[in-house]
A and B are shown apart, each in its own frame.
Chain A
Amino acid sequence: MINEMTLPPTDNSSYQSHQSNTQKAEITFCNQKFWLYADGSCYHCASKTLIIADLHLEKAFSQSSATPLPGYDTQETLLRLENALNHAIIERCIFLGDSFHSARVAHTLASFYKDKLLALTQSKNIVWVLGNHDPSLPNFLEGLQCDEFYIDKIELRHQLVTDSTDSMEAPLQGQIIGHYHPKAKLQLRAGSVTSKCFILDKTRMILPAFGVFTGGLNIKHMAISNLFSHAPELYFCHKTKLYHIIDVANLCK
């Protein structure tokens, strides 16, 4: 039984929600034009679709039996989602899996958050791609629930299918996935900076985790590096800016 929550008043002023503040990077992936944003969201221009991965809503709440993390992450993530939905004209929004930290918290989401989430996502075609953390989602969420989705021969799914017969090669024209929460550590003269990033090559792109407490896995780790046969590039998200890194081997540790 969850009580009705009285949340502290939110103060939007410290997080500027203007498009001009969040720099975007225009890329061409699989012959399609995309805009990447520093908050980790990805916009497919032709279909006016925003793609966001790994929200992990209610992560703090679901872990609180072990570690008492501050439960404001859901509120903060929803605030960022609200800002992301203002990036451009959006007619469809695809959540690329692990939108909730567990199926259970999705089903028992407090009404305050429920209302907010529904308000944000109404009038947008929503697609909920299921992830390993949220293999099932409640019906109160509007929109389509599926395991994979396609935009013009590009496959969108949460993580790779580990088929024993297939190699790790991307099918079709290309693939956009989440799941790995990629982060990179840039070695600069003045020191090093670690932040989340987009990582991609010609056929595969991994989106960073959008959620607030999501942490990350270094792109140099085998689990990520093995997924790219051609030398990948990064779009490094630092505060409100994106930095395009090509020489990953030398600049990242």
Chain B
Amino acid sequence: MSLPALFQEWFFSKGWQIYPHQLSLISYSKKRISHLLIAPTGSGKTLSGFLPSLISLSNRQSNLSADTKNKAEQTKRSLHTLYISPLKALAVDVHRNLQTPITEMGLNISCETRTGDTRASKRNRQKSAPPDILLTTPESLELMLAWPEAHTYFVNLKAIIIDEIHTVIGNKRGDLLSLSLSSLRNVAPDATFTGLSATVAAPEQIANWLAPEADKVAIVAPKIDKKMELEIYCPKINKIPFAGHSADFAVTDIYEMISTHKTSLIFVNTRAQAEILFQSLWKENSNHLHIGLHHGSLDASQRRKVEKAMSEGSLDAVVATSSLDLGIDWADIDLVIQVGAAKGTSRLIQRIGRAGHQLGVPSKAILVPTNRFEVIEAVAAKENIKKGKLDSLHEYSGSLDVLAQFIVGRAVSGAFSADDLYQQICTAPPYRDLHRDIFEQMLEFVSTGGYALEHYEQFRRIVKGIDGLYRLTNRAVATRWRMNIGTIVETSTLKVRFSRGPALGEIEEYFIQSLRPGDSFIFAGRVVAFVEIQKMHVIVQPTSAKEPKVPAYAGGRLPLTADMSETVRHILQSTEMHDSLPNQVKDWLAIQKNYSKLPDLDSLLVETFPRGERYYLVAYGFEGRNAHQTLGMLITRRMERAGLKPLGFVATDYAIAIWSLLPVSNPAELFSPDILGDELEEWMAESTMLKRSFSQVATISGLIDKNIPGTQKTGKQVTINSDLIYDVLRKYQPDHILLQATRQDSARGLTDIHRLATLLTRFENKITHVALSRISALAVPLLLEVGRESVMSSALETMLEELEYDLVNEIS
């Protein structure tokens, strides 16, 4: 098995050797076997994915008659290869990269991108005269599959490549993509699937997602030993903070690191942190280094500028969030700095792999923990990487709200039979266990809303004809659907710009509402002052104000993974490992051991102590913030019932602290798994968590449309709150399919019930209760968090009353 001559010459001219895994992919492609490539960055992964197509298309070229300039020949082109990437930017980058072999080998292959940013004229042209290779996103694919002509457009498709496939597994976007792929399998029966993935714990899980018959997917996982040089930063003079995520104590040293390297990539966890660190580094910038900023709220043009400068080698460092996690290697990065905990081994490996992109050159990375617990997490990460212990993906069944969106899309492309559609949906792996009656309920929802009200029958959106096939009843449904597809439900944001000039980026609406004209804040790497809001745009002007605010962004706070938390527990328990920790942390743990106890693997450590006028209970669960948040809600309910008068709680990735007016004498009663029965049901019934989930479900399923034709301009939308609908639906039809979808979502998402259940079951009757007379060393970070975290929602009621009381007093 070898390359065609043309390709061999090209590889030779580049000074490259073809890898065995690249040959495997070509071989599987020829045999029309779907395959999955598991490889780290820098292994020529993207090229591997495309080589089979390039070879196949170049063969076609040489088989044509000499007169290939014949227009008739050219218009017979149909789509040969479809490449799907989760990021628009990635599609654009891959396109650029692909042009290199195509141009250098003189191949007559047309290659284009199609994303939300593609202009209408170009999109129309792509529809009537398809290129050979189309690079696109899941959302654009969804829209294309809704063409009535989808059948003819995709019929000759030979290859479908899904890049960064590990990022779409186990979430709604992936669910929708999986359904789209099931449609593709229908209209393009000849196509072979290729999945490109980063290193994961269980490749079979991804193979399972790629094709309905997992055993027919070949897994190619070359053993590439990418050496990593991983160092954990320890400050020489400054103290490592107990809590918070500020890197202030390390900025000077971070600057030193980037000064001594060619190009550094600095990863942080949130956009706010990125902006702050960027400002701090610039304050230190005595060597006039070129430092860039990259995150999801910056305008696309700003991000492109930074990416271009990186690939040209003109930047010395870039501060970025997960926005730069994925992508091909176009920059010569020799150092990766991870500030704060990476929250997951796989994510960390992916990031570290960005440095030293050629194989054979070790990837160099420095972890900078921003508080004491993060130091332990960093050590855990290093341990896991050394042992090759990666995060596993949990089993997951497809979201129901996505199904509704998909059914409408199917109707948009033409008439369908319920039986056929159900069969097809079941070939999408996340939906392989979908019950027929759930499908029927979804069909009913799409049609009339699925309510027990007969008089709705006259307003069907899809209707079954005499021939037994379902069709759309009117075009307005199709228009609405096209305007509202996708699964990314954004919080409301406004664009930010100077009074003249392009957009700088987007900012959350609620932050702007807290500003007065003249208030300054940092954004897109600058300090700006708020001027006014003009037509949904926030106008700002540059300013040199001294103490600018920092915008907070919703989202972006991922919890600690289960695998990581296990290792953290292990490290805490193994005192012999503590010697390798920085002295500050080592001493801190020693104090904990002497005064209280160190958490261990066999029991749940619960400490109680009085402080001020309150009694505190601290439980070290290590199951991540979401699970702990839920636990806090449930335990405080139980405490209220028991008359202990809880006042509030704070949850972090490592532990939970609850304070109350009366002490807890028997924690074991609070932490029994039966709390997941009644208390959970009750809480879920009342809580705002469910309402938030419902709001998402309502938008994705099409119950509420975010974008309505004709209303974007005025901004004066009298919107129906999804909460109103939720209340009514819960009262009159509690088993409605969307409420079922909401409960499913809630259990999975924010509430992390699964992890909570694991925690409580594992430690049932295995509580180690330490009653102390004052706060312990390990509890200090938690209490420091109290000021930062927001108050329980029931406190809102109290606040309203206080407000009224104040006002009444004011008046009288």
**Of B451, B719, B800, B808, which one neighbours A70 at CB under 8 angstroms?**
B451
B714 CB to closest chain A CB (Å) equals 10
Q: Is the CB of B729 within 8 A of A70?
A: yes
A28 at the interface (CB under 8 A from B): no
Residue among B476, B729, B732, B791 with max Cβ neighbours from chain A (10 Å)? B732
B452 at the interface (CB under 8 A from A): yes
Q: Is the CB of A71 within 8 A of B704?
A: no
B120 at the interface (CB under 8 A from A): no
B530 CB to closest chain A CB (Å) equals 14
In the complex, chain B residues whose CB is within 8 Å of the CB of A247: 807
Q: Is the CB of B796 within 8 A of A6?
A: no
**Of B510, B702, B793, B807, which one neighbours A245 at CB under 8 angstroms?**
B807
In the complex, chain B residues whose CB is within 8 Å of the CB of A6: 454
The verdict on A188 contacting B459 (CB below 8 Å), with A3-B454, A71-B449 known, is no
B167 at the interface (CB under 8 A from A): no
**Of A65, A71, A190, A245, which one neighbours B796 at CB under 8 angstroms?**
A190
B803 at the interface (CB under 8 A from A): yes
| A1 and chain B: residue at smallest CB distance | B458
In chain B, residues 698-722, which have Cβ atoms closer than 8 Å to a Cβ of chain A? 702-705, 716, 718-721
The verdict on A190 contacting B795 (CB below 8 Å), with A72-B733, A245-B807 known, is yes
**Of B456, B480, B725, B799, which one neighbours A190 at CB under 8 angstroms?**
B799
Binary contact readout B344-377 vs A (1 if CB under 8 angstroms, 0 otherwise) = 0000000000000000000000000000000000
In the complex, chain A residues whose CB is within 8 Å of the CB of B796: 188, 190-191, 193
Main secondary structure of the interface of A (DSSP, over half): loop
**Of A65, A67, A186, A244, which one neighbours B474 at CB under 8 angstroms?**
A65
B448 at the interface (CB under 8 A from A): yes
B453 at the interface (CB under 8 A from A): yes
Q: In the bound complex, what is the Cα–Cα distance between A215 and B725 (angstroms)?
A: 10
Binary contact readout A225-253 vs B (1 if CB under 8 angstroms, 0 otherwise) = 00000000000001001011111000101
Q: Is the CB of A213 within 8 A of B724?
A: yes
A161 at the interface (CB under 8 A from B): no
B728 at the interface (CB under 8 A from A): yes
| A223 and chain B: residue at smallest CB distance | B716
Q: Is the CB of A76 within 8 A of B456?
A: no
Segment from A7-15, A39-47, A88-96, A124-132 that makes contact with B? A7-15
Q: In the bound complex, what is the Cα–Cα distance between A243 and B731 (angstroms)?
A: 26
Q: Is the CB of A188 within 8 A of B728?
A: no
A110 at the interface (CB under 8 A from B): yes
**Of B456, B716, B728, B736, which one neighbours A217 at CB under 8 angstroms?**
B716
A119 at the interface (CB under 8 A from B): no
A143 at the interface (CB under 8 A from B): no
Residue among A7, A69, A181, A223 with max Cβ neighbours from chain B (10 Å)? A69
Q: In the bound complex, what is the Cα–Cα distance between A67 and B704 (angstroms)?
A: 7
B410 at the interface (CB under 8 A from A): no
Q: Is the CB of B703 within 8 A of A66?
A: no
| A112 and chain B: residue at smallest CB distance | B455
B689 CB to closest chain A CB (Å) equals 14
Q: Is the CB of A64 within 8 A of B799?
A: no
| B738 and chain A: residue at smallest CB distance | A70
**Of B453, B704, B799, B804, which one neighbours A5 at CB under 8 angstroms?**
B453
Q: In the bound complex, what is the Cα–Cα distance between A244 and B703 (angstroms)?
A: 35
| B719 and chain A: residue at smallest CB distance | A215
In the complex, chain B residues whose CB is within 8 Å of the CB of A186: 800, 803
Q: In the bound complex, what is the Cα–Cα distance between A154 and B58 (angstroms)?
A: 84
Q: In the bound complex, what is the Cα–Cα distance between A245 and B807 (angstroms)?
A: 8
Q: Is the CB of B728 within 8 A of A72?
A: yes
B790 at the interface (CB under 8 A from A): yes
B461 at the interface (CB under 8 A from A): yes
The verdict on A64 contacting B456 (CB below 8 Å), with A188-B799, A223-B716 known, is yes
Q: Is the CB of B725 within 8 A of A66?
A: no
Q: In the bound complex, what is the Cα–Cα distance between A213 and B724 (angstroms)?
A: 6
| B446 and chain A: residue at smallest CB distance | A68
Q: Is the CB of A181 within 8 A of B800?
A: no
Binary contact readout A179-216 vs B (1 if CB under 8 angstroms, 0 otherwise) = 00100001111111110000000000000000011111
Binary contact readout B312-329 vs A (1 if CB under 8 angstroms, 0 otherwise) = 000000000000000000
B521 at the interface (CB under 8 A from A): no
Q: In the bound complex, what is the Cα–Cα distance between A213 and B791 (angstroms)?
A: 29
Q: Is the CB of A110 within 8 A of B449?
A: no
Q: In the bound complex, what is the Cα–Cα distance between A60 and B108 (angstroms)?
A: 56
**Of A4, A190, A192, A251, which one neighbours B510 at CB under 8 angstroms?**
A192
In the complex, chain B residues whose CB is within 8 Å of the CB of A187: 513-514
A104 CB to closest chain B CB (Å) equals 12
**Of A216, A223, A253, which one neighbours B513 at CB under 8 angstroms?**
A253
Binary contact readout A63-90 vs B (1 if CB under 8 angstroms, 0 otherwise) = 0111111111101100000000000000
In the complex, chain A residues whose CB is within 8 Å of the CB of B800: 186, 188, 193, 238, 241, 243
Q: Is the CB of B716 within 8 A of A110?
A: no
**Of B458, B728, B790, B811, which one neighbours A191 at CB under 8 angstroms?**
B790
B763 at the interface (CB under 8 A from A): no
Q: Is the CB of A72 within 8 A of B803?
A: no
Q: Is the CB of A64 within 8 A of B732?
A: no
A230 CB to closest chain B CB (Å) equals 17
Q: Is the CB of A61 within 8 A of B456?
A: yes
Q: Is the CB of B455 within 8 A of A70?
A: no
**Of B448, B455, B807, B810, which one neighbours A2 at CB under 8 angstroms?**
B455
| B480 and chain A: residue at smallest CB distance | A66
Binary contact readout B158-189 vs A (1 if CB under 8 angstroms, 0 otherwise) = 00000000000000000000000000000000
B267 at the interface (CB under 8 A from A): no
A18 at the interface (CB under 8 A from B): no
The verdict on A71 contacting B451 (CB below 8 Å), with A188-B796, A190-B791, A246-B811 known, is yes
B445 at the interface (CB under 8 A from A): yes
In the complex, chain B residues whose CB is within 8 Å of the CB of A189: 791, 799
Residue among A14, A66, A213, A221 with max Cβ neighbours from chain B (10 Å)? A66
Q: Is the CB of A110 within 8 A of B455?
A: yes
Q: Is the CB of B799 within 8 A of A72?
A: no
| A241 and chain B: residue at smallest CB distance | B800
Q: Is the CB of A215 within 8 A of B448?
A: no
A105 CB to closest chain B CB (Å) equals 10
Q: Is the CB of B455 within 8 A of A5?
A: yes
A211 CB to closest chain B CB (Å) equals 10
Q: In the bound complex, what is the Cα–Cα distance between A190 and B810 (angstroms)?
A: 21
In the complex, chain A residues whose CB is within 8 Å of the CB of B795: 190
In the complex, chain B residues whose CB is within 8 Å of the CB of A61: 455-456, 459
In chain B, residues 435-482, which have Cβ atoms closer than 8 Å to a Cβ of chain A? 445, 448-459, 461, 474, 476, 480
**Of A188, A213, A241, A245, which one neighbours B720 at CB under 8 angstroms?**
A213
B719 CB to closest chain A CB (Å) equals 5
Q: Is the CB of A188 within 8 A of B803?
A: yes
In the complex, chain A residues whose CB is within 8 Å of the CB of B793: 190-191
Q: In the bound complex, what is the Cα–Cα distance between A189 and B791 (angstroms)?
A: 9
A55 CB to closest chain B CB (Å) equals 14
In the complex, chain A residues whose CB is within 8 Å of the CB of B720: 69, 213-215
In the complex, chain B residues whose CB is within 8 Å of the CB of A244: 804, 807-808
In the complex, chain A residues whose CB is within 8 Å of the CB of B733: 8, 70, 72
In the complex, chain A residues whose CB is within 8 Å of the CB of B732: 8, 70, 72, 75-76
B220 CB to closest chain A CB (Å) equals 46
In the complex, chain B residues whose CB is within 8 Å of the CB of A216: 718
Q: In the bound complex, what is the Cα–Cα distance between A221 and B445 (angstroms)?
A: 35
In the complex, chain A residues whose CB is within 8 Å of the CB of B514: 187, 253
In chain B, residues 721-747, which have Cβ atoms closer than 8 Å to a Cβ of chain A? 721, 724-725, 728-729, 731-733, 736
| B445 and chain A: residue at smallest CB distance | A68
**15 pairs of residues in contact across A and B, judged by CB atoms under 8 Å:** A2-B458, A8-B733, A64-B456, A68-B461, A68-B703, A69-B725, A70-B725, A110-B455, A188-B800, A188-B803, A190-B791, A215-B718, A221-B716, A223-B716, A243-B804
Contacts A76-B731, A187-B513, A192-B510 given; 19 further ones with Cβ under 8 A?
A61-B459, A66-B476, A66-B480, A67-B703, A68-B449, A70-B728, A70-B732, A71-B449, A188-B803, A190-B791, A212-B728, A213-B720, A215-B718, A215-B719, A215-B724, A217-B718, A221-B716, A246-B807, A251-B803
